[in-house]
């Protein structure tokens, strides 16, 4: 019998996530039924949304169940198939969770072509994070050439794509990231016009200097003080794509003070979850895939080695210790 390891949610976090919130188990791969495929996961994607799922609160999806395999996007290879649509050796992406292997009926499992695009990129720039960036930019921010866009968590899996897509559309792209190394990467490698180190302690002044004409559109990943400072610089009729509030995911108060600017600047803000817009994925992934294959959309990965490293890597992601897309390499 084939066995593999997986993580289940052992307990819900009280404030910050701790390793003991997860429990690793070794399980047997079941015999496949008709229509099923067995996948060996090569990469597990770690994403901020998982933090919200760990809580038992009303949100956009049901909470992660206790003692069930942690939710998560995966990229891997079919090792056994009783489904005519999949063959052994097919590279596939899906949501098989924090696990070295998984069984799928084929629903939600998609074959991918790794000829010109590395497998792990289907968890990042050509996957959910890339689509998140593409959706927020094209459907909510709708920037015009010459406008200034700002994106927080700019070196991350989503933010890095937002800025690069905006540059390709003729915008001034300004990032916000934590630390000089990330900021240098955002400007020098990703090609943003500027990047502000929010840890440097001069957020308001640095943001003002980097956005002399104000902010026309904002992609918000963080919340808290960073969001508030951006609000204060929004131009009339500005658009805000609200994608994440990672600064508040560990229970910190998530308060906004510059609320009046929503009114005085006649801003539009929309919170969104990209998985609710499947109709646009083919269009977005086509653009993202072509850009990555052509070397015109750059990305960077933080790679943790082996499934046992997943909890610490996830905790690091919540603290901003990752640099680019956080994945766990499983084989």
Please say whether the beta carbons of 122 and 112 come within 8 A.
yes
CB of 72 to its own copies, least distance (A): 19
Residue bearing tokens 């990229």: 75
Helix (H, G, I), strand (E, B) or coil at 11: coil
Looking at the Cβ atoms of 256 and 331, the one nearer to its own copies is 256
Looking at the Cβ atoms of 262 and 323, the one nearer to its own copies is 262
Looking at the Cβ atoms of 53 and 182, the one nearer to its own copies is 53
CB of 125 to its own copies, least distance (A): 22
Looking at the Cβ atoms of 144 and 257, the one nearer to its own copies is 257
Looking at the Cβ atoms of 126 and 226, the one nearer to its own copies is 226
CB of 91 to its own copies, least distance (A): 32
CB of 34 to its own copies, least distance (A): 36
Give the largest Cα separation in the chain, rounded: 65
Angle at 302 (CA atoms; ends 298, 303), nearest 5 degrees = 120
**Binding residues for its own copies (CB under 8 A):** 52, 58-60, 223, 227, 236, 242-245, 248, 253-257, 259-260, 262-273, 276
Helix (H, G, I), strand (E, B) or coil at 221: coil
CB of 192 to its own copies, least distance (A): 24
Whole-number Cα distances in Å, 325 to 29, 98, 222, 279: 29, 16, 16, 25
Beta bridge partners of 163: none
CB of 242 to its own copies, least distance (A): 5
CB of 254 to its own copies, least distance (A): 5
Looking at the Cβ atoms of 98 and 227, the one nearer to its own copies is 227
Residue bearing tokens 């610490």: 312
CB of 63 to its own copies, least distance (A): 12
Radius of gyration of the chain (CA): 20
Give 299's contacts (C-beta < 8 A, 6+ positions apart): 121, 124, 125, 157, 160, 161, 292, 324, 325
- Cα–Cα dist 259/262, whole Å: 6
Looking at the Cβ atoms of 139 and 168, the one nearer to its own copies is 139
Please say whether the beta carbons of 243 and 272 come within 8 A.
yes
Q: How far apart are the first and last CA of the chain?
A: 19
Looking at the Cβ atoms of 179 and 248, the one nearer to its own copies is 248
Please say whether the beta carbons of 133 and 152 come within 8 A.
no
User: In this structure, what token pair is assigned to residue 90?
Assistant: 């097919």
């Amino acid at each position: 019998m084939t066995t593999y390891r997986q993580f289940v949610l052992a307990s819900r976090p009280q404030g910050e996530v701790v390793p003991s919130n997860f429990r690793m188990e070794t399980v047997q791969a079941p015999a496949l039924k008709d229509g099923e495929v067995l996948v060996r996961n090569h990469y597990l994607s770690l994403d901020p949304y998982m933090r919200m799922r760990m809580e038992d609160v009303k949100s956009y999806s049901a909470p992660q169940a206790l003692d069930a395999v942690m939710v998560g996007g995966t990229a891997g290879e079919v090792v056994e198939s009783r489904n005519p649509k999949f063959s052994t050796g097919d590279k596939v992406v899906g949501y098989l969770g924090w696990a070295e292997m998984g069984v799928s009926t084929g629903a939600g499992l998609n074959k991918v072509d790794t000829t010109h695009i590395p497998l792990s990129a289907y968890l990042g720039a050509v996957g959910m994070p890339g689509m998140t960036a593409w959706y927020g930019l094209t459907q909510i921010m709708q920037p015009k050439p010459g406008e200034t866009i700002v994106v927080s968590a700019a070196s991350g899996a989503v933010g890095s794509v937002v800025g690069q897509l905006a540059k390709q559309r003729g915008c001034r792209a300004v990032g916000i990231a934590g630390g000089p190394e990330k900021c240098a990467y955002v400007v020098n490698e990703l090609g943003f016009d500027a990047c502000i180190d929010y840890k440097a302690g001069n957020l308001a002044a640095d943001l003002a200097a980097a956005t002399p004409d104000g902010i026309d559109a904002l992609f918000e990943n963080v919340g808290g003080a960073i969001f508030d400072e951006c609000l204060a610089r929004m131009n009339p009729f500005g658009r805000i794509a609200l994608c994440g509030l990672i600064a508040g995911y560990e229970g910190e108060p998530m308060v906004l003070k510059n609320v009046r600017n929503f009114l005085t600047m006649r801003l539009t803000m929309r919170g969104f979850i990209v998985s609710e817009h499947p109709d646009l994925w083919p269009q977005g992934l086509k653009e993202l895939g072509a850009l990555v294959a052509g070397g015109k959309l750059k990305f960077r990965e933080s790679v943790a080695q082996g499934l046992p490293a997943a909890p610490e890597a996830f905790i690091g992601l919540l603290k901003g210790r990752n640099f680019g897309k956080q994945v766990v390499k499983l084989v």
